[in-house]
Amino acid sequence: MDVKNFLYMYTMDRRKSITNELTDIIGLDWNLRDLLFEATEKIDYGCRFDANGLCYNYRKDEVNEQSYKCCCHSCYRFVGYLNYIRPIDIKQIAYKFKKDVGFWREGKGCVLPRKLRSNTCVKHHCHTELLNAKDRYLLTLLKSHQVKPLKNKHTKLDFDWQGEIDALKRVLDNSIRYATRVSKLDLFLETRSKHFIVR
């Protein structure tokens, strides 16, 4: 989609914003958000689709419309669930957005790089039991920064989110090189997740 039409569609929802200042919205700056989002590349979400794009996990006994594209089926209508976009990313995001399907592509799923996806898309998973403790901890960090934290009988938070983020910032402090930041984040997630429990 061209940028003009994408922006028209995106800005129709007044809850959505285009901003360089993210901290006041979600408590993370763009650099830390990107680092956490990219760390989810290693997670196996357990998504499985058949040749018709129907999700095996979501489907019950019969094929139904909701199982088509699973959690991606409303991508177009909700503009990829993107509640905030960085101005520098608009062009790349707009060109990957297509009428009727949004960012979803048959046989591929989402075509957006992980760091450009919405928080909704990155944190959602159907099966907690498939995730190891480290992955669960990372996804809970992403869930917890919402203005209204997700209330879910399967996800009871056992830690202070701001305290965890502050601890992570101290670990990453003064790390300029991307590779160093990634390795420090990985070690942080591994260590902290040992004391993290989802009941």
pLDDT at 149: 42
Residue 196 near residue 159, CB atoms below 8 Å: yes
Long-range contacts formed by 186-192: CB under 8 A, 24+ apart = 186/39, 189/39, 189/134, 189/137, 189/138, 190/134, 192/137, 192/164, 192/167
Q: Single out the residue of 130, 96, 133, 138 nearest to residue 116, CA to CA.
A: 96
- The predicted model scores a pTM of 0.79
- Res 91: pLDDT: 95
Residue 125 near residue 90 (C-beta atoms within 8 A): no
| Whole-number pLDDT of residue 145 | 57
Residue 85 clears pLDDT 90, i.e. is over it = yes
The residue segments making up the domain with residue 149 are 3-193
Q: Is residue 181 part of a domain?
A: yes
Q: How confident is the model at residue 124 (pLDDT cuts 50, 70, 90)?
A: confident
Kindly report which listed range (21-25, 53-57, 97-101) carries the lowest average pLDDT score.
53-57
Name the pairing type of β-strands 104-105 and 84-85. unpaired
In a domain, 170, yes or no: yes
Q: For the residues 141-160, what does the mean pLDDT come to?
A: 54
Q: What percent of the chain has pLDDT over 90?
A: 18
The larger pLDDT score, comparing residue 58 to residue 20, is at 20
Q: Examine residue 149 and state whether it is found in any structural domain, yes or no.
A: yes
Strands annotated E in 47-168: 84-85, 104-105, 109-110
Which pLDDT band, with edges at 50, 70 and 90, does 28 fall under?
confident
- pLDDT bucket at 151, cuts 50 / 70 / 90: very low
Residue 199 lies in a domain: no
Does residue 48 sit within a domain? yes
Question: How confident is the model at residue 86, as a pLDDT?
Answer: 92
Dmax over CA atoms of the chain, in Å, equals 54
Question: Is 60 a residue whose pLDDT tops 70?
Answer: no
pLDDT at 198: 52
Residue 57 included in any domain: yes
**Contact of 137 with 192, CB cutoff 8 Å:** yes
Domain count, the chain: 1
pLDDT at 195: 74
Residue 124 lies in a domain: yes
Residue 80 belongs to a domain: yes
pLDDT band at 116 (very low <50, low <70, confident <90, very high): very high
